[in-house]
Amino acid sequence: DQQVKQNSPSLSVQEGRISILNCDYTNSMFDYFLWYKKYPAEGPTFLISISSIKDKNEDGRFTVFLNKSAKHLSLHIVPSQPGDSAVYFCAASGAGTASKLTFGTGTRLQVTL
Amino acid sequence: DGGITQSPKYLFRKEGQNVTLSCEQNLNHDAMYWYRQDPGQGLRLIYYSQIVNDFQKGDIAEGYSVSREKKESFPLTVTSAQKNPTAFYLCASSKSRTSGGYEQYFGPGTRLTVT
């Protein structure tokens, strides 16, 4: 049962335009959400996160939006740059003492010139 | 420099052999995790440990074993009972959630190939 879903396996965006990556979740006990960026054969690197008490968090070119009623979050990257080309994973953490994360299957973003 | 190290980067083994993957962190994090990544799939949790001498099974623990004798180290053994051991293995660490730890920090990964 996939509790965190990224339904778009890939996305292609022109340099300078906005990239929007989407993520849906089913578990209403998730209270913290994160986005990671991953290059091939490397470990994921943390990008940005959001608590369930917020609906938006911004960090430079990256903004994460959370819609709790729809159980949906999105990552906006603007402007997109060629170096943003990577696989992006959405992850969620549930209430409790363990910092376990449940990951989506990832979206491969390609930023073209 | 603080971080997580995994060694080796590439590992080759014959079927039927156990193999141990190393993970060390000097971030003073309480919690450590092991994931595997397969093509087209997300990261799946194998085992995690929130404190020294304690660990819990994740979603796909069968065929794996771990130990947590030191805060800095969380080795993973892939046993011969693991049916599909060939994968990219990632180790991560974080502060405890009670200390405000949500973000996990990942090592560079180990690519294990079993033939």
**What pLDDT sits at residue B40?**
78
CB contact under 8 A, A98 and B56: yes
CB contact under 8 A, A44 and B90: yes
Determine the residue of chain A that is closest to B31 in CA distance.
Answer: A99
DSSP class of residue A54? -
Strands A4-5 and A19-25: antiparallel
**What pLDDT sits at residue B91?**
97
Determine the residue of chain A that is closest to B38 in CA distance.
Answer: A105
d(CA A1, CA B83): 21
**What pLDDT sits at residue A97?**
57
- Below-70 pLDDT ranges, chain A: 96-98
The identity of residue A69, as a single letter, is S
Interface of B with A in 72-91 (CB under 8 A): 88, 90
- Below-70 pLDDT ranges, chain B: 1
**What pLDDT sits at residue B56?**
94
Q: Are A80 and A60 in contact (CB under 8 A)?
A: no
How far is A51 from chain B, CA to nearest CA, in Å?
10
CA dihedral A76, A52, A25, B59 (to 10 degrees): 110
What rounded mean pLDDT belongs to chain B? 92
